[in-house]
Structure formats: structure tokens, C-alpha cells
Amino acid sequence: MELKRVVVTGMGAITPIGNDVETAWENAKKGVSGAGPITHFDASKFKTQFACEVKNFDGNALFDRKKVRQLDLYAQYALAAARQAVEDSKIEEDPNVNRDRIGVIVAAGIGGLHTFEEEAGYYALNEDKGPKYNPFFIPKMIADIASGHISMEYGYHGPNFGTVSACASSNNAIIDAFNLIRLGKADAIVTGGAEAAIFPAGVGGFNSMHALSTRNDSPTTASRPFSKSRDGFVMGEGSVVLVLEELEHALARGAKIYAEVAGGGLSADAYHLTATHPEGLGAILAMRNALEDANMKPEDIDYINVHGTSTPVGDVSEIKAIVEVFGEHAYDLNISSTKSMTGHLLGATGALEAMFSVKAVQDNIIPPTINHEEGDDDENIDYRLNFTFNRAQERPVRAALSNSFGFGGHNATVIVKKFEK
């Protein structure tokens, strides 16, 4: 059986550095930080009091009152990004659209955390009154529900589910969508991820693990991947949604094509609950599997959007893995961590970084890794590599590889490349 080719025909974004694709991309190229004091709740008693929040988002302006009551914030972000992506793709304008063959696979690493907080918190404070739960509690909280809402909005009857692999979730979603389309199980799939965990349980939980930066005096410089002074990740939120489509289906309706999805690779560290393998063994496997799946050589990749969370262990192990997989070519390609600007969107981060990878391929520009200062070098990191520090760089980008690694040892790598007929 000959596998079908899969292309990206639509994108939508609600992010800490812009609430549409072009704004987010322009800010990424400029090196704009999305970090600032937390506004979703009073964080004054928390070790970390800042995050990369979405700005100027009003669900009440996008959804009617009845709909808003059914949606946790993460699902609001997902539905808003999906509307942008579907509109961008113009697939709804096709008079021959077959909604039975369009699916939705949108991931979340956690799901409706704030909804859970509110409902469980109310019961804890009012236990003597007996249980009193909102009937929307469960359907607002569960991590698959964004896919359900998107399918209901458009009447898409194709494959529909969510994927959960912590911070690798939306790369898993993209790979599942890619595989289903190239196997002929769908003509198009709306895919990506969403997350909204900047609430007490999210910040407090990650703080208790010492996973978050506590650089409260300078939020915009706190996410500093590959710098010696890094002290943890900065939490982000939002949603990015892509429309993946079978090539011949896209060409037949005259769709614009951003890039081609070339391959995906999956693996497990099988090592630790939260830490990456110190030698990057799972990351090595995922990248090699993705290259093999794409029928590409390491030398075919010009840009790696790294997982690069700004944690002491993770940054080092990912670089070891890159050098192991790419050899001498590692010193010829560009590497950057856009989390230095957006923070870590958890279950949505793979989709955001896939979008940046698509734009890098399209525009031949590498977004920077910001916040590195001269002399702030880690002796365990090889600075002969080009980390694209502090300023975007123009160069030909034939193909880009994007890594996402999640708690539990989940690793997922996506490769996109320039589309050629």
C-alpha cells in the first residue's frame, strides 16, 4: 500500500505572544517575551508569581453565555484556535467537502484543571452540606472534550479523540492525524493542542517539584534555555491548531499549502517519572525514528525546534541527543528554543512549535532563543552549536524537526519540510 502525502493547509493560534498566527510569528521573530505577573489568581503566596499568560482573550466575546458555561478555559482556547485554522484552510468553502472524512484530534496534557479546582474546592469547603456539583463538571474537565466541541461546531464525523502524553501530547496528536490521513482513513484532520493550567493547582503542583523558575524579579528573562543560570521552566498557556490534509484532496480544491508533514517518531525513556534520560536515549530514538519515517538523512534537516524547557537536566540531555543523532551536521544546522519567549504550554507546546517550524520552513527564518547573556555558559553544553541566541537568523530551511518530551518519559518528534509537487 502506497502511503498518501500529508500537507498543512490551515493554522490558528492563541498564544502568550499573540492571538493569531501572524502576530505570534512576528513576535517570535522579534524575540518578544510573553512572561509577566500572574493575573488568573492571586499568586502572592506562591514561590513562582509569574507565567506566560494569554492576553486580551475574552471568551464571552467569542461564545454565547450558554456555550461559555460548557467550556473550561483550555477548551475555549482550543475552539478559538480551531476556528482560525478552519477559516484559514478554507475547507468549509469547498462545495464538495465530505464531513464524514474530516476528523479532529486535539490534545491536552492536563485538561480542565481550573474546573476541577473550582468543583472539588467547593465540595471541600462545604462538605457538611453534601455534594453539589455542576452538571458540566465532568464534560468541562476531561482532556478529550476540546475535540468533541470542535467536531460539533463543524459537523466533522471523522476520527475524533484526544491524546495525552504530558508535554508531548500535541506532537502525539499531530502524528496520529498524519498517520490516519496517509493511511487513507481521513481526507483532513483538525489537530493540535490546548492547555490552561496557570491556576493554583498547576503552579503549586509544579512548584512543589521545583520544576518552575522562581525568578520573580525578572519574569521576561526567566526562561533562559541553555544558559548556566537557568532555574526551571516558565508556565505558558493557549492553543495552536493545524489543519492537516491529504495532498491530492488539498490540490483538488486549490488549497494553499504551508508545508508538508514528512514524518513522526515516538519513543519512551523508560527511566524516571519526570526527568529525561541523562544521555537522551529516548530523544535519540524519537529523532531517529522520525528521520527514518520521513526517509530523510540527518543532513536534510536545517532547523531543530528543541524541547528546551530551561531546566538544568533536560537542556543538557537533549543537546547530547542531538549531537549523537546529527554528528558533525549538528554544527551546521540552527537550534532554537521558542519556549524562551512563549514559556512552556505543556500539552499545547508541540502544536505551537510545529507551527513555528512550519513558518520557519515557509519564510526561511529561524526564531531565536532569547535571554542568553555572554559568559552565562554551562560547561556541560557545547556552544559550538548554533543556538540562535537572542536574534532571529535568515537561512534556507528545507526541513525542520520539532521535539516534545513529556513526564512519564514520552518522546514525540515531528518533521515538516518545504512542499514540492
Enzyme catalytic residues? 167, 307, 344
Tell me the sheet residues that pair with 8: 244, 259
Closest to 287 (Cα-Cα) out of 269, 266, 272? 266
Cα distance from N-terminal residue to C-terminal residue, the chain? 20
- Length of the chain as a residue count: 421
At residue 321, φ and ψ (nearest 5 deg) are -65, -40
Residues whose CB falls within 8 Å of the CB of residue 113, separated by 6 or more in sequence, listed in order: 72, 74, 141, 196, 197, 199, 201, 202
Task: Count Cβ atoms below 10 Å from residue 36 Cβ, excluding itself.
Answer: 14
Q: 361 is written with which cell numbers?
A: 520552513
Closest CA to 247 of 308, 165, 300, 188: 188
CA distance 57 to 74: 12
* Neighbour tally for 108: CB within 10 Å: 33
Whole-number Å distance between alpha carbons of 24 and 354: 13
